[in-house]
Structure 1
Amino acid sequence: MTIAFPAGPPDPARAHSLDDLVGCLRGLKLWAGDPSFETITRRINTRWRAAGRPADELARRGTVVDCFKVGRRRVNAELMVAVVQALHDYPDYLTRWRQALRDGRVGAGAAARVRVLDRLPDDLAGFAGRRDELDRLAEPRAVVTVITGMPGVGKTALAVRAGHRLAADGRFDVTLFADLRGFHPTLPPVEPVQLHGELRRRLADRRALLVLDDAASLRQVHPLLPTAPGSLTLVTSRRRLDAPVVELEPLPAEEAQRLLARAVPGVPVGADPAAHRRIARCCGHLPLALALAAGQIAGRAGWTVTDHADRLEEGEARLALDEGIETALHPSYRTLPPQSQALLRRLALHPGPEFGPDAAAALLGTDPGSAARHLRRLAAEHLVQRRPHDRFALHVLVRAYAARRGHDEDRPADRALARQRLYELTGPGPRECG
């Protein structure tokens, strides 16, 4: 199995809008160990005082927080660069941020700008495992293979690793990569017409390896497929598309624990030898969450792994609701029909590890047939996990996200009524709910 830990800070050159750039800044904060806004403000002002800036021009915590807010038409470029410098003081990296802030790519019309890369993204140095999946992708049985799984499970990292291995044997004349933005947090999905002409020109009857990342549907994919014999396309999508698939699951517990330990080898374990296992459990063994945790561990000098495990267990949902996780999950949630959204929120109220259509119907206040259809929709989006015998489960991080949405969107009286209906279905006995 695989986890891809970030080999470096987020690249602002990939931003297509101001919201994208803010997303990079949020990612940099997590990569740098998630320091508090007070700490960032203090670092900025220490540098500015040393440069002779007067007291009335120093940064305030509130203006620093504003740098991390999406939905803005303009930003304070000087302050944003100062925030970046407080998080990662590296000259070349700061230059990339200054260029991104000047670049028209973060202005209007970003949705219309789509690029086809003539090379794959760099392979992540921290990638490991997923041997069975890589073996299947090395000898694909179809000209199109879809890598699917829940948000944050490592689909793109696997596609890139498999693509580099396939390209290395020289069987392809050209290798291309395109991001279809199927679940981008701020930009719309790419329309095939935006890429069709450029792909046709570059493919031109050549044997091609094409990697299409983050597809929302086969409608996006079909017009873009190469037609030359010997060509191969890898697609990543969080949806189960009607094509041969390689399905990714969260990491096994022991593998998640080992890989987390490898990611932070210089950090002392502390008093609890099971600290890595506890953190992996808090992360639900999800690669994205483990990567965020590793960044936080590496960024806090003097903390042991036990300290981090204690912190997460004091407020386990905190990691789940870190913006890196919430940003990954929310694009899937917002595409759901209202009743499917409501069911996902209500499922966070279920006390058991698994549930079926009867329990879902009680929580939603509908009939089991309708509830089953919504469960299938949620499973198709990888927001619930299928179990044998028409049973389903919520990943721990999806449960925390759904609970947060429920508190934000549902009236307390409606949540109480849903609990009451579930109680009436199951009774007060010890048997498992629904």
Structure 2
Amino acid sequence: MRADTGGGAGSPDAEAVAEPGPIRFQVLGPVRVWRGARELDLGFPQQRALLALLLAHAGRTVSTGEILDALWGDRPPASAPHVVRRYVAALRRLLEPGLPPRAPGRRLPRRTGGHLLVAETDEADLLRFRELTRQGKRAAATGRAGTAARRFTRALEEWHGPLAMGIPEHVRAHVRFTAVQRELLDTARLAADAALLSGHAGQVLPALRHAAAHEPLDEPLHARLVLALAACGLQAEALATYEDIRRRLAADLSLTPGPELTAAHARVLRQEVRGAAPRPLSDPGHFAGRQAESERLSDLARDRGAVLVGGMPGVGKTALAVRFAQQAAPRFPDGRLQVHLRGSEPGRPAVEPLDALRELLTALGVPARRMPDGVTARAGLYRTLLAERRALVVLDDALDTEQVRPLLPAAPGCLTLVTSRNALPGLVAAGARPLRVEPPSAEDAHAILARRIGPGRIAAEPTAADEILTRCGRLPLALTLVAARAIGHPHVPLAALAAELRAAHGGLDALSALRPALLASYHRLPDDSARFFRLLSRHPGPHLTATTTAALTGIPARRTRLLLGHLAESHLLAEPEPGRYTLHDLLRALATELSAEPSPA
């Protein structure tokens, strides 16, 4: 281990041969600097902290007194000013490797009584963040809420994690970093206000979730997150978010929610939160992998019409469809409509076609006084309005063909993406092209987990991460639940989370929030199919056929084939080859739990 004697990072000779390229500074997250594609070694923690402090001041001179206070507190050693000069000299050589000795340089020019880091707006994340925030404020001040929301959202995309990570904690607590953190949160609130006003809450949802995760007790921020979730049609998540912060306020501060958060909660309960159009139903901000499925969906969507995206509960159907809809938006200049049909939502009835059509027509600008009565009249007006348009319609979580059929545009320029846990053979027979989504590959599942909790935690505990992937059966919803625990408890090692899954012995106890999603599909089965599903827990192997399953259950082979087919249509079984079926590990766990109940539902 080298001692911190005030020396710099790397020798000038070594840095002099560094590859050329533009320089980039990051402080809105881990403190990092790149020259071209190469990341620079920033040296000792205090030297890195000095650079972070200069970056946080973003083009303003930092007095020597403030630097000493930030690095050493109120009792700096007598040698501290000399050490600071050494740090500055080392950083100057690092940032400008060809600089002659004692030359002032461009990046860290000498200033009386202090030091200054010079960077252009496109070189430093904090400067880009501030410029985009300024643009957003100008747009908001002139009534352009949609433009403001986009600028604020782009600004928040510069935020990559806890501010100034990688420097000593006592330095990160300095007032300068606290001020930058306030700027981030202020912009997050402005972004939410502009997005809610313009009806584009889904656009800002990833940034709001990110900000709320870093400020778990900020009531104004969480109030906006609750409203944005509700505006995106995520009522249950909005209420759960309110309940989470209510519990934290009580446990950590012995407080009850204040007026702003309480008012947001009340508006959600009264269903007063509405977007200007049918909202995005999920946020694929952490979408990763799925290259093969995305390419296949693109091929199927080329001829417009309808595409049915099917698969088992929690496999990522909606995320795939919404991500494709976002990427394909330029091909559909007349808009994108989305409606959640609640075909498998626990405890709530599926949306009736009449109500879905009202939501779609409202999004197309039809006022309530001109809303036709009856499904036929509304469907006729809906198709007339879309007749000459190129629009993309996402019908998420469909129950059956009868629910979907009135919602299909007749226009040749429109594309409809339907997601469902059911096979919808009637829709396929009518011309919809099916795409079955399977659990992701090990590589894609790894990418999903890394995008949610950060590649650093994965790299630090690769064995635990691999066990989490295995015990979650690579199911995206299960991985999301584990990731939520990891994000909410950043100091809990992944090994402890893997141990929780291991202790469940293949059951769902460690993934209890997943159980309702799986049960929703099970409860829609006819009685004979439900009983057959429970019996499958007895099958010891990974593959099922009609012959082996009939022998195990005592049900005649012909009837067994029909039951296997029905479970496959409900996406509770996969059929990778004709007549050969597989049962996902988490569905097997559900079947085992249900078979152990005295009176299965």
TM-score, normalization: structure 1? 0.70
Residue matched to 1:212: 395
Query: 1:344/1:321 Cα in 2 relative to 1: closer, same or farther (>3 Å)?
Result: farther
Residue matched to 1:143: 305
Whichever residue aligns with residue 44 of structure 1, its letter is A
Residue matched to 1:361: 550
Please list the CA deviations of residues 210-231 of structure 1 after superposition, one character each: whole Å capped at 9, or x if unmatched: 1111111111111111123311
Native 8 Å contact 1:116 1:199 kept in 2? no
SS in 1 for 2:402: helix
Equivalent-residue separation in structure 1 for 2:393 and 2:509 (angstroms): 33
Please list the CA deviations of residues 271-302 of structure 1 after superposition, one character each: whole Å capped at 9, or x if unmatched: 96421111000000000001111111222243
Whichever residue aligns with residue 246 of structure 1, its letter is L
Q: 1:322-337 counterparts in 2 under 5 A? A: 322-337=511-526
Query: 1:28/1:250 Cα in 2 relative to 1: closer, same or farther (>3 Å)?
Result: farther
Q: 1:225-374 counterparts in 2 under 5 A? A: 225-241=408-424, 242=428, 243-265=432-454, 268=457, 273-319=462-508, 322-374=511-563
Please list the CA deviations of residues 307-335 of structure 1 after superposition, one character each: whole Å capped at 9, or x if unmatched: 22222212244556633211111111111
Q: 1:261, CA displacement in angstroms?
A: 3.0
Q: Does 1:97 align with 2:265?
A: yes
Q: Does 1:25 align with 2:240?
A: yes
Native 8 Å contact 2:508 2:590 kept in 1? no
Whichever residue aligns with residue 311 of structure 2, its letter is G
Q: 1:98, CA displacement in angstroms?
A: 4.2
Return 5+ residue gaps in structure 2 as ranges.
Answer: 1-204, 213-221, 365-381
Residue matched to 1:130: 290
Native 8 Å contact 2:306 2:415 kept in 1? yes
Return 5+ residue gaps in structure 1 as ranges.
Answer: 1-5, 33-39, 52-77, 83-90, 107-113, 412-434
Residue matched to 1:182: 343
Q: 1:95, CA displacement in angstroms?
A: 5.1
TM-score, normalization: structure 2? 0.52
Whichever residue aligns with residue 163 of structure 1, its letter is A
Whichever residue aligns with residue 132 of structure 1, its letter is A
Query: 1:12/1:391 Cα in 2 relative to 1: closer, same or farther (>3 Å)?
Result: same
Equivalent-residue separation in structure 1 for 2:276 and 2:422 (angstroms): 22
Native 8 Å contact 2:289 2:447 kept in 1? no
Native 8 Å contact 1:211 1:234 kept in 2? yes
Rg bigger for which structure?
A: 2
Residue matched to 1:193: 354
SS in 2 for 1:343: helix
Query: 1:334/1:408 Cα in 2 relative to 1: closer, same or farther (>3 Å)?
Result: same
Residue matched to 1:117: 277
Native 8 Å contact 1:284 1:395 kept in 2? yes
Equivalent-residue separation in structure 2 for 1:249 and 1:320 (angstroms): 23
Q: 1:26, CA displacement in angstroms?
A: 8.6
Whichever residue aligns with residue 408 of structure 1, its letter is E
SS in 1 for 2:538: coil
Query: 1:227/1:46 Cα in 2 relative to 1: closer, same or farther (>3 Å)?
Result: closer
Identity %: 34
Q: Does 1:159 align with 2:321?
A: yes
Equivalent-residue separation in structure 1 for 2:308 and 2:275 (angstroms): 21
Query: 1:300/1:94 Cα in 2 relative to 1: closer, same or farther (>3 Å)?
Result: farther
Q: 1:193, CA displacement in angstroms?
A: 2.3
Equivalent-residue separation in structure 2 for 1:120 and 1:158 (angstroms): 13
Native 8 Å contact 1:342 1:364 kept in 2? no
Aligned length in residues:
348
Please list the CA deviations of residues 146-183 of structure 1 after superposition, one character each: whole Å capped at 9, or x if unmatched: 111111011111111111122234x3323211111111
Please list the CA deviations of residues 378-423 of structure 1 after superposition, one character each: whole Å capped at 9, or x if unmatched: 0111101214352212101101111111112459xxxxxxxxxxxx
Query: 1:310/1:122 Cα in 2 relative to 1: closer, same or farther (>3 Å)?
Result: closer
Residue matched to 2:11: none
Residue matched to 1:385: 574
Native 8 Å contact 1:284 1:396 kept in 2? yes
Q: CA RMSD in A?
A: 3.5
Native 8 Å contact 1:118 1:174 kept in 2? no
Q: Does 1:47 align with 2:215?
A: no
Greater relative contact order structure (CA < 8 Å, 6+ sep): 1
Moved more, 310-319 or 244-253: 310-319
SS in 2 for 1:322: helix
Equivalent-residue separation in structure 1 for 2:237 and 2:417 (angstroms): 30
Please list the CA deviations of residues 231-267 of structure 1 after superposition, one character each: whole Å capped at 9, or x if unmatched: 1111111111222112111011232124323422276
